[in-house]
Structure formats: structure tokens, C-alpha cells
Amino acid sequence: MTTSKAQVFLITLEEHQLGHDLRLDCDDATVGDVLEALDSFGRERLADCRGCDGCCHERAPLTSPDIPALATLLPEADCPAQAVCRNFAEVFADPNGIVDITLQRDGEGDCMFLHKEGKYCKIWEARPFVCRSHFCLPRGSRLEAARAGIVNRGENELIRLLLAEEAAGAPPFLPPGLDPAHYLSDPAFAEAEWPNISMKKLVSPKLWRKLRELQ
């Protein structure tokens, strides 16, 4: 479906399977415009997912622009990124120093925000980007690449925010030994929230050209 700046549309994949993909209609499209287009597509093309928890058992990485919405679920804090992550996140680090910050899951592998009896998200309006941008419908190559890039860069920016809060005096939260030089400020995230974050700044020039092509 379409906003003034972004379009999400049905496509046919291999073996006649339906999927969905993304096109951007102007140079100043933001991640917020993409999310609006996805919301519109879901409402108009897909069944209501209330009562289905199929996606609530998967890895759900957090990004820096997810923090403001999630922070509204907590008392006001001087270090919002750390407050959100301490309450809602799990942190994993592999031997190579790669850090992954995801929503907490319980012992059965369910997202902490899943209402198990009703099978719905208890924080629907504040749910992270990775949840807002997911449907149980395969993604086309352009949308898949854009989504992966947004999540990866947004998670790195979240790590930078957490390191900055620790440097300002917050208690240690991340695994020790992370080098702040590996998590420099990302210009694409100069604006803190999705409606103001430029898609053009987030994706590679090659992907940007593909996103601007006609369907």
C-alpha cells in the first residue's frame, strides 16, 4: 500500500508464492514513511494477526530509535537506553566480540511482551522496528536488504548509546572490553526517532537506486 513517500506492494516469488516488497517515491522518504506504508499494507491486504503468535518466538533485535517508545513503559530515567535494556533486553556476545541486544524471552522462548492466552503483543504501539516491519509473508529482496541494514546499523547505534551512558557514569551493562572506537556515532541516526531518519542515509547507493525504481 502507499503513503505519499513509500509503497509496499504484493509481488510473486518463485513457484508462484506471494510476497511483498518496498518502493520509495521521493528522496526524502524516512523510516517512518516505510513503517506507515507497511501498516497500511497490513491493514488492507493481510488478515488481522491477533490470535497468532508465530513471530513472537524469534530473535527480536533492538535498535536505538526503539528506545524512546519503550522508555515510556518505565519511570523517567537519566539513562534511558540502559533503563530499557536492563528491563527488557538480553545481551549476547560471541568470542569475536560481536554483540547482540534482543528483547527478553522466557524459559519457553516466548517474547516477554507476548500475552500467551490471548496471543497478542502487550505493547503493540511501542513494539520495536523489527516487529513493526515483519509480516508472515515473504519479503522481496529490496525490502529484505533495507530492513536488515536498518536493524544492523540501529543495533550498533544502540551499543554506542549504551557505551556513552556508561562513560557518563551509568553502571556497566555491556560485556567488558568493547572498544568505543568500533561504535562511532552514525550520521544516519542524528535524528533519534524513525519519522525523522532518512532512508537515503541508511542504505547503500546501489540499494537506494533499486528502492527508487518503478515497480
**Host domain of residue 183:** 6-211
Judge whether 66 lies within some domain.
Answer: yes
With beta carbons less than 8 A apart as the criterion, state whether 38 and 8 touch.
yes
Task: Over range 164-191, report the average pLDDT.
Answer: 92
pTM of the model: 0.93
Q: Which amino acid is at 99?
A: V
Judge whether 1 lies within some domain.
Answer: no
Judge whether 46 lies within some domain.
Answer: yes
Judge whether 146 lies within some domain.
Answer: yes
Judge whether 158 lies within some domain.
Answer: yes
Q: Which residue has the higher pLDDT, 214 or 5?
A: 5
Judge whether 22 lies within some domain.
Answer: yes
**Residue bearing cell 515473504:** 138
Q: What is the pLDDT of residues 98-122, one digit of tens each?
A: 899 999 999 999 999 999 999 999 9
Give the count of domains, the chain: 1
CB burial string 153-188: b at 16+ within 10 A, e below: bbbbbbbbbbbebbeeebeebbeeebeeeebeeeeb
Distance of CA 37 to the CA centre of its chain: 15
Task: Examine the pLDDT at 96 and tell me if it is beyond 70.
Answer: yes
